[in-house]
């Protein structure tokens, strides 16, 4: 078969394929082929490029921000390096006293970006405002204190082509430039010994509950669910629960991870995890089935720690249990971070996390469950 005949064989295939591919409209035949019809090599290359281009979904990245101009600058800078370029950025300033509009405007020539300022209403409602202006088929929500690797959107796109899901999420990591405290907090938030490492297991890729620092969904799903609730804390978990309750498919994308800046001191970290523990009981009141045994472990840790401290006055050997746990954290953090200072700080971070979450959890039981008072 000569080249001319091969061309006539391949052209009808491309013509038929160009109508619709994978449920996405493919405008491959919307323009006139600029290459000689009889040259199979050029013709094949042309159609492959047209079809690949038509499969490029547009992402709308929504970023709520509150008094974090420096952090949003780092995030936007990382977005300029993306290998996948079919996206827009929408920054929603949630009533900041230090607006970040000048920072956003500096990226007008490098990103397709828009800025909106609203009265302070919380991160959930700020995201909802951003989605109203989104033009993409896929909505991606990022926290302003994240940094995305260059291949992030490419990984999301490839995963969406492989898996037909309605929503997705990814993990977070610590960047090498983070401070020792931030790395220690990151260890605590992701370690098995503090219950953090239980989330995101490969054994549960299709039952993953994404968090708002790295979460995505189809815009039609977002709108069908009514967006985020007005909860100040735990609004992302609330949204994830509603995704599954509505019968949508959600999956964990291992390759779509972000660098997530942690709290820079332990006081801020304590406040963060305390609110998370408190929010868990509020979520339980709305969705009783959402409470798992792992959520109760920090509260049990607080009770157990109190029991150890009291018992140690009568049986000093009980301190050995606490020292054993401290040793586990230290050596595990040392292996993961290869830094003695980070390993020592990880011990503090682990106790701050467990005590903060546990006391918030217990106080919510007392206030919300027994006294019936709203926070």
Per-residue pLDDT of the chain (375 residues; tens, 9 = 90+): 433 333 333 334 433 344 333 333 344 443 444 444 445 544 554 454 444 444 567 999 999 999 999 899 999 999 999 999 999 999 999 999 998 999 999 999 999 999 999 999 889 999 999 999 999 999 999 999 999 999 999 999 999 999 999 999 999 988 888 999 999 999 999 898 998 764 444 456 677 899 999 999 999 999 999 999 988 889 999 999 999 999 999 999 999 999 998 888 999 999 999 999 999 999 999 999 999 999 999 999 999 999 999 998 899 998 999 999 999 999 999 999 999 999 999 999 999 999 999 999 999 999 998 888 876
Domain locations along the chain: 3-54, 59-170+208-263, 271-370
Query: In this predicted model, what pLDDT tens digit does every residue of 212-240 receive, in sequence order?
Result: 999 999 999 999 999 999 888 899 999 99
Q: What are the φ/ψ torsions at residue 83 (nearest 5 degrees)?
A: -80, -20
Asked whether the beta carbons of 144 and 72 are under 8 A apart, the reply is: yes
| CATH topology (fold) of 59-170+208-263 | Spore Coat Polysaccharide Biosynthesis Protein SpsA; Chain A (3.90.550)
Query: Which pTM does this prediction carry?
Result: 0.79
Tokens read off for 99: 């607006």
**Helix or strand or coil: residue 274?**
helix
Alpha-carbon span 284 to 304, nearest angstrom = 23
Strands (DSSP E) along the chain, which ranges?
20-21, 24-25, 59-65, 87-94, 113-118, 138-142, 146-147, 167-169, 172-173, 214-218, 250-252, 258-260
Alpha-carbon span 33 to 14, nearest angstrom = 12
Residues paired with 138 in a beta bridge = 59, 218
Place of tokens 């050029």: 42
Alpha-carbon span 123 to 201, nearest angstrom = 27
Alpha-carbon span 72 to 64, nearest angstrom = 9
Alpha-carbon span 252 to 204, nearest angstrom = 8
Alpha-carbon span 362 to 51, nearest angstrom = 56
In this structure, the number of other CB atoms found within 10 A of the CB of residue 262 comes to 22
**Mean of the per-residue pLDDT values of the chain:** 85
């Amino acid at each position: 078969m000569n080249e001319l005949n091969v061309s006539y064989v391949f052209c009808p295939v491309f013509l038929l394929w160009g109508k619709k591919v994978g449920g996405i409209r493919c405008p491959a035949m919307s323009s006139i082929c600029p290459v000689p019809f009889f040259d199979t090599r050029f013709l094949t290359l042309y159609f492959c490029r047209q079809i690949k281009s038509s499969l490029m979904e547009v992402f709308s990245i929504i970023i709520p921000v509150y008094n974090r101009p420096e952090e949003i600058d780092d995030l936007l800078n990382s977005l300029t390096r993306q290998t996948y370029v079919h996206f827009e950025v929408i920054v929603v300033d949630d009533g900041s006293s230090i607006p970040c509009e000048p920072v956003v405007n500096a990226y007008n020539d490098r990103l397709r970006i828009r800025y909106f300022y609203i009265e302070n209403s919380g991160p959930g409602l700020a995201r909802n405002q951003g989605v109203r202006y989104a033009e993409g088929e896929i909505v991606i929500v990022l926290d302003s204190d994240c940094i995305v690797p260059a291949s992030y959107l490419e990984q999301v796109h490839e995963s969406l082509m492989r898996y037909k899901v309605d929503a997705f999420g990814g993990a977070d990591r610590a960047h090498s430039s983070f401070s020792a405290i931030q790395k220690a907090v990151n260890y605590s938030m992701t370690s098995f010994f503090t219950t953090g490492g239980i989330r995101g297991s490969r054994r549960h890729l299709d039952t993953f509950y994404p968090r708002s620092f790295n979460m995505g969904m189809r815009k039609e799903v977002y709108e069908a669910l009514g967006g985020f609730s007005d909860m100040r804390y735990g609004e992302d978990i609330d949204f994830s629960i509603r995704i599954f309750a509505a019968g949508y498919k959600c999956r964990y994308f291992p390759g779509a991870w972000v660098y997530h800046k942690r709290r820079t001191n332990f006081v801020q970290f304590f406040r963060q995890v305390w609110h998370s523990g408190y929010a868990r009981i509020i979520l339980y009141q709305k969705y009783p089935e959402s409470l798992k045994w792992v959520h109760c472990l920090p509260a049990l840790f607080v009770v157990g720690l109190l029991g150890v401290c009291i018992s140690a006055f009568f049986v000093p050997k009980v301190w050995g249990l606490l020292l054993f746990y401290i040793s586990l954290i230290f050596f595990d953090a040392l292996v993961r971070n290869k830094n003695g200072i980070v390993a020592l700080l990880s011990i503090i971070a682990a106790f701050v996390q467990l005590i903060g979450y546990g006391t918030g959890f217990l106080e919510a039981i007392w206030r919300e469950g027994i006294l019936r008072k709203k926070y």
